[in-house]
Structure 1
Amino acid sequence: MAAAATEPVTASTTAAEPLMMRALRGDAVERPPVWMMRQAGRYMKVYQDLCKKHTTFRERSENVNLAVEISLQPWLAFKPDGVILFSDILTPLTGMNIPFDITAGKGPVIAEPIRTLEQVKQVTKLDAEGACPFVGESLRILRKEVGNEAAVLGFVGAPFTLATYIVEGGSSKSFAHIKKMAFASPEVLHALLDKLADNVADYVRYQADAGAQVVQIFDSWASHLSPQDFDVFSGPYIKKVIDSVKKTHPSLPIILYISGSGGLMERMAAANPDIISIDQSVDIVDGIKRVGSGFAIQGNMDPGVLFGSKDVIEARVLDTIRRAKSQGVRHIMNLGHGVLPGTPEENVAHYFEVARTAHERL
């Protein structure tokens, strides 16, 4: 039986903690922990088969049994050191009075984009347990299923990235609406970002209390801001989330990931996450030097490498681990972005096998 919703899930004391938790704490470990962003999903045949019966993304991510099954698919196949909840960064929006849908071929759709201060005032405080009980229940089950064999990860969208969907009405290539708001009506955008930051912090806490041992913040679209505008519209709100969470959950490891983060590394460090996830646009050694001491590092193999030969994959995995190790940092082996559709499953299996045996190969 799952733990009661109000009871924070704690790890068993009868077995060693997951490798990821020990590595992040700074314990001596024989190899870096390994997982992949988007490791559950469309490149796996078992997921494709499940989608034929359960055709909508929201059904798959908001039905507890399905979300747990999908989250566990890569763990059962490849035994990564991290099992991340199958969900979406937009999931909590319904609990903020922002209806949305995710449609095949189009992605997220918000039928009534928020573009005025009056609309921002209608955004409500998030009651995560009331709005997203399936998230908490899924995390509790995942903790019981994987035990101490892997860490369970939750994730959230950063305020600015959530705002892009809310203001644009969905995905965008130009981000014209949110940029217009930023420079023509900045008070509206700041009011929205402030509310989102409070709600995202509450959502992180909810996931942690339900069993997430690590939480990753995705600011997927922050690189579409200039560095100076990142300092106004993104960075302060990420920091607000992290600072708020740390007041109640000081030991919760928080990862910050920004796609295309080459111009933002130092600014990511200023938000003070525990782990900085470096994408493939940044040389990992340069990235480590740029963020400075005190951070664990995640990344950063190009997901395209997984289309290569097994020799190519092995060489790149080992090179990534070797180069991170040369800087003396705590390291989580990962991709620089999510695994790509069409990636051969046998190549993913080889990636994990090489990473798990890296200490024998280096």
Structure 2
Amino acid sequence: MSDSLPLLLRAARGESVERPPVWMMRQAGRYMKIYRDLRDRHPSFRERSENPDLSYEISMQPFKAFKPDGVILFSDILTPLPGMGINFDIVESKGPLIQEPIRSINQVDCLRQLEPEYSMPFVGEVLTRLRESVKNEAAVLGFVGAPWTLAAYVVEGKSSKNYSVIKAMAFQEPKLLHKLLNHFAESIAKYLRYQINSGAQVVQMFDSWAGQLSPIDYEIFAAPYQKQVIDLVKKTHPNTPIILYISGSAGVLERMGQTGVDIVSLDWTVDMAEGCARLPKTVGVQGNVDPGLLFGTPNAIRQRIIDTVKKAKDRIHILNLGHGILPGTPEDNARVFFEAGKTVNDLIGSDN
């Protein structure tokens, strides 16, 4: 144990800390004017996320503005796809578009094994620079998309409301889907190892669309591949904490806690106390303030943070939103969130 390590890293490893660390999902992004101005100069999302100078600059914007306890790589969960032979674009207001959706066993057989140091050297460069810049003032976070969510994008070809194409594959051609999921699990484990070797101290896996699965199908198509990624990474990097986030996860919380993950990130649809009660005490929690609350008053934000932190008492807890910060959120309210998180002990004391 070392007090010289970043607060978030110490907390994520289960050490006793003075307060819950605080950061926000999507903290670098559209709610910040400085980001929107940069986006106007560089309208291509892939340029912003794959040009190391731009990615580094964007990653640092919220750190310079708010000093959160975590600085997360500015990237996208689809970034590793071209390294496997799957091309994509991200269109403003429409989201990701896969140029040739995966629908056949031949397409899966033709996928390349991911070699991130060759196909995504910019990711390693940005993570290394972030570590050098923030030193121990904050933990550097990396992230990936989980196999089911990557598969959902590449099979559907775009974002979906009902995931009918991938669910048809799941129930008509399960062997095809399992082969694709296994390929993604092995590739994502390599990608996480690369991120950690490049400087990431804590990593988060987003299985954004696994909440669209019934619990029985989650156990078939999502959980085993989450676990495969976690097991592969833990073999080589046992001391790097891994966070798992699923949007709409209320129905599968217990199952998330059985994947071997260190921390489960709760969305805002679950009460923090109830979420803690449903997870093993050895598993930490992250979250879970409603992002919509940041359109409210400063006092409402502070009171909800007090409530959340009180309910997570005696647990490994990283204060965060229950989803990404929303576009249009007032920057001053983001500042209130971070400041309240950092002074939450004083706020709780004055609230009693």
Which bracket does the TM-score occupy, shorter chain normalised? over 0.9
Superposed displacement of residue 270, structure 1:
1.2
Partners of 2:285 and 2:81 in 1: how far apart?
30
1:95 equivalent to 2:83? Answer yes
In the alignment, what sits opposite 1:139?
A: 127
Matches within 5 A, 1:131-280: 131-280=119-268
1:112 equivalent to 2:107? Answer no
Partners of 1:348 and 1:24 in 2: how far apart?
23
Partners of 1:230 and 1:340 in 2: how far apart?
27
1:352 equivalent to 2:338? Answer yes
**Alignment equivalent of 2:280, drawn from 282, 292, 317:** 292
1:225-263 superposed Cα distances (whole Å, 9 cap, x missing partner): 100000000000000000011111111100000000000
Partners of 1:134 and 1:310 in 2: how far apart?
38
1:38-77 superposed Cα distances (whole Å, 9 cap, x missing partner): 0000000000000110011000000001000000000000
In structure 1, the gaps of 5 or more residues are: 1-12
Partners of 2:8 and 2:325 in 1: how far apart?
20
Superposed displacement of residue 289, structure 1:
1.0
Superposed displacement of residue 118, structure 1:
0.7
**Alignment equivalent of 2:46, drawn from 41, 45, 58:** 58
SS in 2 for 1:264: helix
Structure 1's consecutive aligned runs of 4 or more residues displaced over 4 angstroms after TM superposition are none
Partners of 1:14 and 1:282 in 2: how far apart?
33
1:111-147 superposed Cα distances (whole Å, 9 cap, x missing partner): 1100111111011100001110000000000000100
In the alignment, what sits opposite 1:70?
A: 58
Q: TM-score, normalized by length of structure 1?
A: 0.95
SS in 2 for 1:91: coil
1:340 equivalent to 2:331? Answer no
Aligned residues: 348
Q: Is the 8 A contact 2:55 2:75 kept in 1?
A: yes
Partners of 2:145 and 2:23 in 1: how far apart?
19
Superposed displacement of residue 24, structure 1:
2.2
Q: Is the 8 A contact 1:40 1:71 kept in 2?
A: yes
In structure 2, the gaps of 5 or more residues are: none
Q: Is the 8 A contact 1:80 1:150 kept in 2?
A: yes
Per the alignment, do residues 24 and 105 of structure 1 end up closer, same or farther by CA in structure 2, a change over 3 Å counting? Answer: closer
Sequence identity percentage? 58
Q: TM-score, normalized by length of structure 2?
A: 0.97
Superposed displacement of residue 322, structure 1:
1.0
